[in-house]
């Protein structure tokens, strides 16, 4: 049983397209995290959100706590957005995370 | 800025060898984690530690052990490497405190190949 489900698993887009990645979770959470992993391995945190919407540049993250669903949107996508995007939620103790399997995004010029 | 470093970016070892992967963080974080990442499976927790000399098994501890003798350093040990342990290994750390962010900071990863 996966506590966190992401879709799609792979996504290819043309430069400039609007992109949406979805995350559904089954556990009660205090906050949800969106992470980005570029080729080469390093993972960085993009957003932590517990309600509503957050925006950072061309990236927008939304969450609906009642529906246990979050989305990550990328507006005016660019080849440098090509990466794996991972959704993560903390366990009840907060000491561990449940991770989605990631969405591999490729943006073609 | 929090910095998490790992001892190697790429490592090639032979079957049966003992392998040490080291992780160091510089922000006095209590929690440290070792994950492996495989295509289609995402990040899976091997072990985590919430204090010096304390450890707990994650989802896939078989074939691995860990050591945390100092707060800033968390080592992953493969006692006898096998080809199915070829993977990307990621270390992370997090702070246990009043701000409930639980944000984890990741190292750059070690890509281990066992031949």
User: Which of A9, A41, A100 has its CB closest to that of B88?
Assistant: A41
Q: Which residue of B has its CA nearest to A94?
A: B102
In DSSP terms, A77 is beta-bridged to none
Place of tokens 């032979």: B14
Between CA B51 and CA B40 the distance in angstroms is 31
Is the bond leading into B100 cis (omega within 30 degrees of zero)? no
- Convert the pLDDT of each residue in A14-31 to its tens digit: 999 999 999 999 877 778
* Strand pairing class (B110-114; B10-13): parallel
Interface of B with A (CB under 8 A): 9, 31, 33, 40-43, 45, 48, 50, 58, 88, 90, 92, 96, 100-109, 111
Q: Is the pLDDT of residue B59 over 60?
A: yes
Partner-chain contact B90 A101, CB within 8 Å: no
| B90 neighbourhood in chain A, CB within 8 Å | 41, 43
Average pLDDT score over residue span B15-35:
94
Average pLDDT score over residue span B24-30:
92
In DSSP terms, A45 is beta-bridged to A35
Average pLDDT score over residue span B80-102:
82
| A90 neighbourhood in chain B, CB within 8 Å | 102
Between CA B49 and CA B33 the distance in angstroms is 6
Confidence tier at B100 by pLDDT (50, 70, 90): very low
How far off is chain B from A99, nearest CA to CA, in Å?
A: 6
SS (H, E, C) chain A: CCCEEEECCEEEEECCCCEEEEEEECCCCCCEEEEEECCCCCEEEEEEECCEEEEECCEEEEEECCCCEEEEEECCCCHHHCEEEEEEEECCCCCCEEECCCEEEEEEC
């Amino acid at each position: 049983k996966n506590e966190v489900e992401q879709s799609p698993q792979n996504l290819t887009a043309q430069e400039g397209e609007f992109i949406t990645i979805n995350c559904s979770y089954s556990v009660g959470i205090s906050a949800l995290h969106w992470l980005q992993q570029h080729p080469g391995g390093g993972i960085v945190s993009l957003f932590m959100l517990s309600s509503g919407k957050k925006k950072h540049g061309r990236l927008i993250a939304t969450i609906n706590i009642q529906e246990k669903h979050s989305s990550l949107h990328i507006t005016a996508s660019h080849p440098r957005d090509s990466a794996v995007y991972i959704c993560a939620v903390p366990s009840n103790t907060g000491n561990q995370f449940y991770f989605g399997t990631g969405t591999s995004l490729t943006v073609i010029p | 800025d929090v910095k998490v470093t790992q001892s190697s970016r790429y490592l090639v070892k032979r079957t049966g060898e003992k392998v040490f992967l080291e992780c160091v963080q510089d922000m006095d974080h209590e929690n440290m984690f070792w994950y492996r990442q495989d295509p289609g499976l995402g990040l899976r927790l091997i072990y985590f530690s919430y204090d010096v000399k304390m450890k707990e098994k994650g989802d896939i501890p078989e074939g691995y052990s860990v050591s945390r003798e100092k707060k800033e350093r968390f080592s992953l040990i493969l006692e006898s490497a096998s080809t199915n342990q070829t993977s990307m290994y990621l270390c992370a750390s997090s702070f246990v405190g009043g701000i409930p962010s639980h944000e984890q900071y990741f190292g750059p990863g070690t890509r281990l190949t066992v031949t």
